[in-house]
Amino acid sequence: MDELTKEFIAESQEGLDRMERCLTDLEQRPGDGELVGEIFRAVHTIKGATGFLGFNRLEKLAHAGENLLGALRDGRVMVTESLINGLLELMDGLRRILTLIESTGGEGTRASDDDSRLIGLLVALNEAGVSEALQAAASASPGVEHVAAAMSSVPESGANDKTLRIDVEVLNRMMNLVGDLVLTRNQILRTDTVASNFPELARRLDGITADLRETVMQARMQPVGHLFKKFPRMVRDLAKTCGREVRLEFTGQNTGLDKSLLEAIKDPLTHAVRNAVDHGIEAPVDRVLAGKATEGCVRLKAFHQSGSVVIEIADDGAGIAMERVKAKAVERQLVTVEQAATMTEREALQLIFLPGFSTAAAVTHVSGRGVGMDVVRANVEKVGGSVEIESRVGCGTTLRLRVPLTLAIVPALVVRSGGQSFALPQNALMELVYIPAREMGTAVERIGSAQFYRLRESLLPMVWLDKLMGFAPGVTAEREGLYVAVLEAEGRRYGLVVEELLAPEEIVVKPLSATLREIGLFSGATVLGNGTLAMILDVAVAAERAGVKASEIAVVDAVVERHEAGVMGEASFLIFEDRLGERSALPLNAVVRIESVPLAQIEYASGRRLLQYRGETLPLRDEGGVIEELRAADEVGGAAVATILICAGGADGMHTTGRVVRRVLDVSAGRLLDDTMASEGARLALVGERLTTVSYEVDGGVVWGEVA
Amino acid sequence: MSLAGIAQESADEMDSLCSFQTGDEWFGIDTRKIREVLGELEVQRVPMAPAFIAGVIPNRGDVLTTLNFRALLGLPEREGQHPVLVLEDEEQGERFGLMVDAVGGVVTVRGRMLEQNPSTLAYRGKALFDGVYKMPMGLLIRIEPSKLRPMRLAEIGLLRSSSRGE
């Protein structure tokens, strides 16, 4: 295909995208002349170009459309539902031909490629009065099925995926930076490493590299609005099919997201919007009975939050009925009746993420075909994101997709096995466990050839990285203890035994060739700081290869276990010392990680201690004045290291804070003492038979323990 | 394009090939299809990869799959560092590396010196070689990079026996 045709297709697709947006707007504001003008221009441009490119079929169809739009512009035809339907069909027709041209180079000559019906419809709409046009629409069009078929059959344009519109300003900036880069290189070539200005040159190079990286990332950023723009049409058609009245609202369309990520979340997002319309919003009659407006509302909202982009899909529909969810889960044998009975709402909500779960009472042709929320979650997790759901019966459901800003750079932990380095993505890494040789006998259990590690009362399947990689055994036979990285992906949780733990690194992900992708175990490769290459482990595939099942039972068990523990007042605590000589504890599930941080990394702003941690700024709490002590003791070196507990706080787990402690003592089960002993938000607990102060959460905010 | 076609069209044209040695034989690849010749370097192995893949190397911001030419010829492996040619398959736009024993120099050949693969050649050679140049100092086997494309090698199932094992 020649350049001219390619350009024509890309431009026409863009025009049609605009047309789609305008058409759905036009239905809301029938009198808007500007919208009509915009639509007219899109079709007119296509028609104009087809003439000299020689696409007759396209020209004929565009011509018929242009005539109708001309009449509309001049006010000879009024905006009606059937007119909008006709124009949408025209748009689909044009899209189909464009797609055909793009994939085959020709317009198609088969009988099914005949547009006379569509052209007839457009002419009828143009010539006849409204009533006749309506008739024509009813008789000529098989209706909604047709539209639905078109929706699924028209693939996204390949040209749009491969080309990117970029601000010339950004391109200029890149060019300038590249110029600087060349100049700096020239200077470096002319000096040697001992020259006095070498450090300065290295610094400049560092600065330019950082700027360039940022600029390129910026260029790859696309507004999320690109994803949203196809929804008005989809929701409109869907609402018609399901007999709903739905209004769609957007906020934050300009939120930027990396182009590849945008592609990755397109399907999950579409699925979520369909769900909201089909399952979320009630039929108008039911809405009136519930005292709501007949028109339901689906809100799409995108915004930045601490290094990731959140896309929220909220509906004001019926919400998720917990009883139905539980009943369904029991019916599908995902949980037992007893388990279901003791579940809280929050736990029950998690059930909808289990594979094979769907609450749709009736299987409609839109959703409820078994492709459920588990796929949405898997797809979002695949790109390092997460999915959350909130629902209130009668008020609606909110689904949150959280994705990282970019896929290109991810934090990872580098490990070694069999003499090779491997990178484990941090988002799949739950915790690290070291099993000393003397505990191997008690901590590691065997059932047949499978081995398990007892991690806080649950059995964790163990997977040996060297075995998984097909390395000869014996290389790693003798060791003093085991390093276990606890990984979780797509609901599979397991302990990966590695030979050696190296440093955490921000890695730049490089794609692998098709041949190596076929191995499946690796999602990419990366160049480490020391110049060697490391393969990036695909945590989910590795689990599958090792035979780790995504066990629903285990997930539910864990949930129920936690629940029961809550009832009894029994829980696991992390015990540490912050004030000198005093034992304090936090519920273990509130502690995300334990980090050793050099004092130099702790920063101060308006009297508060802050830590830059994985793209977030964490406020630090230092109950025992540990930092000051460390600083005082460390006059000379500046190499002192503070131990910081990274704690998730708040009901949503969003407000992460850091807590500086003197040292971590132990993890132990304990029991909270009666509230009568409580004072100022802190409670005493018997942990390991000793009195311990426990900080706990109140109303979503973390309340920290005061002196008891 | 068929082999005969190539031979006819370029019967009198001069071609420059980059020669390299693997085992006891000399091979040549059209210099226009070589992006870069890298000196001796360590190739990072990839666990569970087919045997004809030596591993991966970093190159100009990409990670390139690198073929082990010795393994392709059915020769035993040699430890240590080896030179790598960076080739590009123009049709697919895919770059990949080829690990060889030693790199020679640039030789100029005439199209008419190209002989088709002798019929007694083993199947393995037929699948990889493009013909043979009768050079004064011996034979030079012509290699077509597009025939070495890793995906193609994986598809034709050459050397399926690999280090794959549980």
Using the structure block, give the residue that is written with the tokens 């089960």: A669
- Asked, for residue B166, whether it belongs to a domain, the answer is no
A225-404 maps to CATH 3.30.565.10: yes
Contact B44 A532 (CB under 8 A): yes
Contact B49 A516 (CB under 8 A): yes
**How many angstroms separate the CA of residue A511 from the nearest CA in chain B?**
7
**Residue A94 predicted with pLDDT over 70:** yes
**Residue A414 predicted with pLDDT over 90:** yes
Q: Does residue B86 sit at the A interface (CB-CB below 8 Å)?
A: no
Q: Does residue A511 sit at the B interface (CB-CB below 8 Å)?
A: yes
Of A575 and A147, the structure prediction assigns the larger pLDDT to A575
Here the tokens at position A466 are: 């060297």
pLDDT category of residue A619 using cuts at 50, 70 and 90: confident
**How many angstroms separate the CA of residue B151 from the nearest CA in chain A?**
5
- B94-99 and B62-68 strand pairing: parallel
**Residue A566 predicted with pLDDT over 60:** no
Contact A515 B151 (CB under 8 A): yes
Each residue's pLDDT tens digit, A103-139: 777 776 665 667 777 787 777 777 765 444 445 444 4
Which residues partner with A616 through β-bridges? A613
Residues shown for chain A? 708
pLDDT of residue A553: 41
Lowest-confidence pick of A262-276, A393-407, A665-679: A665-679
Which CATH architecture is the domain A409-555 placed in?
Answer: Beta Barrel (2.40)
pLDDT category of residue A559 using cuts at 50, 70 and 90: very low
Angle of CA points A481, A483, A484, to nearest 5°: 130
- Within A74-224, residue ranges assigned H as helices are 81-104, 116-127, 130-140, 144-153, 158-162, 168-190, 198-220
**Residue B84 predicted with pLDDT over 90:** yes
**Residue A303 predicted with pLDDT over 70:** yes
ipTM summary value: 0.80
Longest dimension (CA), chain A: 91
Each residue's pLDDT tens digit, B9-37: 555 678 889 999 988 889 999 898 898 89
Residue A459 near residue A484 (C-beta atoms within 8 A): no
The number of angstroms, rounded, from the C-alpha of B107 to the middle of its chain's C-alpha atoms is 16
Each residue's pLDDT tens digit, B62-74: 889 999 988 888 8
Between the CA of residue A292 and those of A250, A283, A413, what are the distances in Å? Answer: 21, 11, 51
What is residue A230's DSSP assignment? T
Contact A513 B165 (CB under 8 A): no
Contact A470 B165 (CB under 8 A): yes
- Asked, for residue B163, whether it belongs to a domain, the answer is no
Each residue's pLDDT tens digit, B7-16: 455 556 788 8
pLDDT of residue A707: 30
Contact B58 A471 (CB under 8 A): no
Q: Write out the DSSP string of chain B.
A: --HHHHHHHTSS-EEEEEEEEETTEEEEEEGGGEEEEEEEEPPBP-TT--TTEEEEEEETTEEEEEEEHHHHHTPPP--S-EEEEEEEETTTTEEEEEE-SEEEEEEEEEGGGEEPPPTTS-HHHHHHEEEEEEETTEEEEEE-HHHH-HHHHHHHTTT---S---
Residue (of A86, A188, A215) closest to A146 by Cα position: A86
Using the structure block, give the residue that is written with the tokens 């001992």: A194
What is the distance between the alpha carbons of residues A64 and A407, in angstroms, rounded to a whole number? 45
What is residue A105's DSSP assignment? S
CB atoms within 10 A of CB A218: 14
**Residue A694 predicted with pLDDT over 50:** yes
Residue of A nearest to B54 (CA): A516
Residue A380 near residue A430 (C-beta atoms within 8 A): no
pLDDT of residue A152: 38
Per CB-CB distance under 8 Å, the chain B contacts of A418 are: 47
Lowest-confidence pick of A133-137, A334-338, B12-16, B154-158: A133-137
**Residue A356 predicted with pLDDT over 80:** no
- Asked, for residue B162, whether it belongs to a domain, the answer is no
Of B30 and A26, the structure prediction assigns the larger pLDDT to B30
Here the tokens at position A96 are: 């189909």
- Which of B45, B53, B57 is closest, CB to CB, to A515? B53
pLDDT above 90 covers what percent of chain A?
3
> Residues A6-29: what's their mean pLDDT?
81
pLDDT of residue A690: 67
Chain A to chain B, count of Cβ pairs less than 8 Å apart?
66
Contact B154 A518 (CB under 8 A): yes
Distance, first Cα to last Cα, chain A: 78
Give the domain CATH number at B57. 2.40.50.180
What is the distance between the alpha carbons of residues A614 and A616, in angstroms, rounded to a whole number? 6
Each residue's pLDDT tens digit, A473-527: 654 445 677 888 998 876 678 899 888 888 888 888 888 888 888 888 888 898 8
Which residues of A331-442 form beta strands (DSSP E)? 386-392, 396-404, 409-417, 420-425, 429-436
What is the distance between the alpha carbons of residues A487 and A462, in angstroms, rounded to a whole number? 10
Residue of B nearest to A515 (CA): B151
**Residue A442 predicted with pLDDT over 90:** no
> Residues B128-154: what's their mean pLDDT?
83
pLDDT above 70 covers what percent of chain A?
78
Each residue's pLDDT tens digit, A166-223: 778 888 989 999 999 998 888 888 887 677 778 888 888 888 888 888 788 778 888 8
pLDDT of residue A671: 65
Q: Does residue A521 sit at the B interface (CB-CB below 8 Å)?
A: yes
What is the distance between the alpha carbons of residues B2 and A194, in angstroms, rounded to a whole number? 58
Residue (of A366, A187, A166) closest to A281 by Cα position: A366
Using the structure block, give the residue that is written with the tokens 């034989």: B25
Each residue's pLDDT tens digit, A591-611: 777 887 877 778 887 778 888
What is the distance between the alpha carbons of residues A254 and A169, in angstroms, rounded to a whole number? 18
pLDDT of residue A698: 36
- Asked, for residue B77, whether it belongs to a domain, the answer is yes
Of A127 and A402, the structure prediction assigns the larger pLDDT to A402
pLDDT of residue A409: 75
pLDDT category of residue A359 using cuts at 50, 70 and 90: low
Per CB-CB distance under 8 Å, the chain B contacts of A533 are: 44, 56-58, 63
- Please identify among residues 300-339 of chain A the ones whose CB lies closer than 8 Å to any CB of chain B: none
pLDDT category of residue A550 using cuts at 50, 70 and 90: low
State chain A's mean pLDDT as an integer: 75
Q: Is A118 helix (H, G, I), strand (E, B) or coil?
A: helix
Stated as kind and residue range, the H or E segment containing A504 is strand A500-508
pLDDT of residue A551: 52
Range of the domain at B105: 3-156
Each residue's pLDDT tens digit, A60-77: 888 888 888 888 877 777
- Strand ordering across the sheet containing B34-41: B34-41, B82-89, B94-99, B62-68, B53-59
Residue A281 near residue A290 (C-beta atoms within 8 A): no
> Residues A264-281: what's their mean pLDDT?
84
State chain B's mean pLDDT as an integer: 80
Contact A470 B56 (CB under 8 A): no
Contact A533 B58 (CB under 8 A): yes
Here the tokens at position B5 are: 């076609």
Residue A107 near residue A56 (C-beta atoms within 8 A): yes
- Residues near A420 by beta carbon (within 8 Å), at least 6 away in sequence: A469, A534, A535, B44, B45, B47
> Residues A431-459: what's their mean pLDDT?
79
Per CB-CB distance under 8 Å, the chain B contacts of A511 are: 63
**Residue A225 predicted with pLDDT over 60:** yes
Number of folded domains that form chain B: 1
Longest dimension (CA), chain B: 54
pLDDT of residue B116: 79
What is the distance between the alpha carbons of residues A510 and A527, in angstroms, rounded to a whole number? 8
Q: Does residue B57 sit at the A interface (CB-CB below 8 Å)?
A: yes
Residue B100 near residue B41 (C-beta atoms within 8 A): no
A3-162 maps to CATH 1.10.10.10: no
pLDDT category of residue A453 using cuts at 50, 70 and 90: confident
pLDDT of residue A154: 39
The amino acid at residue A534 is A
